[in-house]
Structure 1
């Protein structure tokens, strides 16, 4: 007998269009510009609107006025005192917008390989050198044993390579520019830089590098002075010499080729007389539209299959245009809400005035999903009177002070930074001592929380902050 059962369950399904929209929201201004350029190339029915603002400068973006359509006058812009505290305003199109260079990497791999061609060595030796160079890590170190490399090279080139040949190749590479490439670790590289220095100070430095490198790195100065019978003045001079050397042959990632990357602000925030003024930095984006005459002519001249293709391209163009408009509206709503919630911070730039704020707070005010707010703020930067800021950094959890008030975790991190900045570098404060100072200031915080915040700030523990 056939048994039928019925049950109900809740299941969240996101359509492909919703996923496409959320991914589109995440684009920064530069990424959106690239996407528009690609669409103009791929879609024959898209064209640029005739506008003087269609030229895009990769180095400096200029903000221009927002249209009446994008000026959200229907929002409640009056604060408790009855005055306006934020507004979308016209910004002079000639004003310069700040850009932040993330990094500028230079490839040295080809330069090092090119030097191999000029060495008076056999073809086999050259191949061994090339293999070793390609085995270097991002700092220029060679973290492999010679015998292992000999086996690997033998297998890769189907020829027998002896360990002595690998060691000879390493010595050759270490004489190339930059010198010291293929050193095994930082200690061996420091020793390499001092090998031709035979002064008394250098000889003592070599002993410390060879026998007490870990203690020196961990700033266990008392142990070094005691076991080597050094005075504090002598160790200070040795420390000064060692610290004057390079830590590694290459800066991180110099072995790989990478183009320059810049952060261009997506929002511009200005402090007016009595209000915060904000705009989107989208005026320099290409303005696009559907070429209606071309679409009409193509439909009349070509077959039914071609007409279907044209309809598809028209639909894609319409979606892109609507997505750009909706993106601007969503971004305006989000930045306007953030300005209202963080008014005191944007007026002064003082991190301690940041209020606790999470994505959910903004999402509830503008009646949108948390995922939408996340994508509108992640990877988005705002230019303010006090510099470029990442909008994601404005969000933080809340901590309750002893007086009952709630403060942002960012405020506590700023206090920790100030405490460490003002400490005695010869007797740095431990995490437990910082916890006690925070408690005195009215911030009851656990020691493990202090350690977590200190690491997030990129500050070393007390032992490694100690100086002679």
Structure 2
């Protein structure tokens, strides 16, 4: 076999993702909060960048005001007074029995803290306190006990009935239902806390929760020997109870939305405004510009600054390009969805990413990045830009109707139904046909499930 080296030229086309292009794509994909965080990171990394001067001046003014306030404090007196506060009184009062407003904590208590506070007010023997604390710390976010009484008794080498008694004390605490081991026990504890006397409702929860979930009211009524209407009333009351008593102590996960685009209707026209709150406006520092011009062209300082200037300029350009792309996308959306803005959700038409991409002459992926996680504030409310892209069907007049519009029609039909004779999916299909919307029963069921609307058998009232 003959071996050797061979030199061959080959020409091919390749798309190379430069770091600058990758950065531009990343910036376009950021939502407003991510962009603000990224800008702040770049301000720390790149010394030639600075935030908007007017904003800095305001910050300096605010800082000076704060410094003036600090100078006015007599720290010696403050610390001596602080040391007088008694921990044994919960840190709410000082020695002179004056209420200590500074020690009111603004954050909400956790479920465990709230229960331990109640537990420490009980008159239990001190040797049992550690068991109660263990039980409280074994509750999950719902307020349910995750360990068994047997496991806790074995851990502390204590009698099971002692552990059970301590658990029963904790189960009388607020919020009602806390310390339960099952959903049934949780609901029964709440009935006892409300001092409900009717034994039938206790039996209903203890024995028929699966049937309640399935709305099998005739079956339950026959078993308990009461009317279907009475069972309906019982079930309505049960549904007002809290299945997860610890839920209100779960940290608030609210997501604050900063719209990228604001749409205002002025007269008969819609005006589009870009929201410039997405982080500080970036500029290049004047002192570094002067340093650049005054330094030797071949010095290391100039080479370093040249790199930083290029990086800063590209960042500023990418942020501006992001803003312009989102603006163009929003502009076309408003033009194509004008019926929605004028008449409401029922008039949202089907629209694809490709339609917008063709209009503004970019790739579909660019439109996808420009709409994902970006929000628009309109006279009808705040919507994610992706909300306006949905599939749909063609109406009788040849005009497309989006899935969101169809859901709105379904909601209206169900809101107007007789609760004693709820409409089946087939009947909803027929009512939609009258409105010029032709979809199958399966599609109605799919949309109904997505909207969280129960089937007709479970919506029936007696």
TM-score normalised by L of structure 1: 0.74
Q: Secondary structure at the match of 1:270?
A: strand
Aligned to 1:33: 36
Aligned to 1:329: 324
Residue among 202, 206, 209 paired with 1:210: 206
Aligned to 2:378: 384
Whether contact under 8 Å (2:153, 2:159) holds in the other structure is yes
Deviation (angstroms), 1:273: 2.4
Task: Identify which range, 189-198 or 377-386, moves more after superposition.
Answer: 189-198
Superposition pairs for residues 285-300 of structure 1, below 5 Å? 285-294=279-288, 297=291, 300=295
Give per-residue Cα distances to partners, 1:140-167, cap 9 Å, x unaligned.
223554446667xx4xxxx767755654
Residue among 315, 318, 323 paired with 1:320: 315
Aligned to 2:115: 112
Deviation (angstroms), 1:46: 1.6
Aligned to 1:340: 335
Q: d(CA) in 1 for partners of 2:9 and 2:393?
A: 48
Whether contact under 8 Å (1:401, 1:442) holds in the other structure is yes
Aligned to 1:88: none
Aligned to 2:187: 190
User: Larger C-alpha radius of gyration, 1 or 2?
Assistant: 2
Whether contact under 8 Å (2:260, 2:376) holds in the other structure is yes
Stretches of structure 2 that go unaligned for 5 or more consecutive residues are 60-106
Change (3 A) 1:387 1:199: closer
Q: d(CA) in 2 for partners of 1:465 and 1:389?
A: 30
Give per-residue Cα distances to partners, 1:306-335, cap 9 Å, x unaligned.
766555543432232112111111111111
Aligned to 1:431: 425
Aligned to 1:142: 145
Q: Secondary structure at the match of 2:53?
A: coil
Residue among 436, 440, 448 paired with 1:446: 440
Q: d(CA) in 2 for partners of 1:288 and 1:380?
A: 21
TM-score normalised by L of structure 2: 0.75
Whether contact under 8 Å (1:399, 1:406) holds in the other structure is yes
Q: d(CA) in 2 for partners of 1:13 and 1:132?
A: 60
Q: Secondary structure at the match of 1:357?
A: coil
Whether contact under 8 Å (2:176, 2:189) holds in the other structure is no
Give per-residue Cα distances to partners, 1:175-217, cap 9 Å, x unaligned.
33323212123321111122366665x2111011111121122
Q: d(CA) in 1 for partners of 2:193 and 2:255?
A: 40
Change (3 A) 1:19 1:111: farther
Deviation (angstroms), 1:26: 2.7
Q: Is residue 226 of structure 2 the alignment partner of residue 230 of structure 1?
A: yes
Change (3 A) 1:9 1:209: farther
Q: d(CA) in 2 for partners of 1:186 and 1:329?
A: 53
Whether contact under 8 Å (2:295, 2:301) holds in the other structure is no
Which is richer in helix?
A: 2
Stretches of structure 1 that go unaligned for 5 or more consecutive residues are 57-103
Whether contact under 8 Å (1:276, 1:347) holds in the other structure is no
Change (3 A) 1:320 1:417: same
Deviation (angstroms), 1:218: 2.1
Q: d(CA) in 2 for partners of 1:306 and 1:131?
A: 63
Q: Is residue 408 of structure 2 the alignment partner of residue 414 of structure 1?
A: yes
Output the aligned Cα RMSD: 3.8
Q: d(CA) in 2 for partners of 1:347 and 1:465?
A: 33
Give per-residue Cα distances to partners, 1:263-298, cap 9 Å, x unaligned.
222111122323221111116742221114236538
Q: Is residue 360 of structure 2 the alignment partner of residue 361 of structure 1?
A: no
Q: d(CA) in 2 for partners of 1:352 and 1:279?
A: 25
Q: Is residue 173 of structure 2 the alignment partner of residue 176 of structure 1?
A: yes
Deviation (angstroms), 1:459: 1.9
Q: d(CA) in 2 for partners of 1:410 and 1:306?
A: 58
Question: Number of matched residues?
Answer: 410
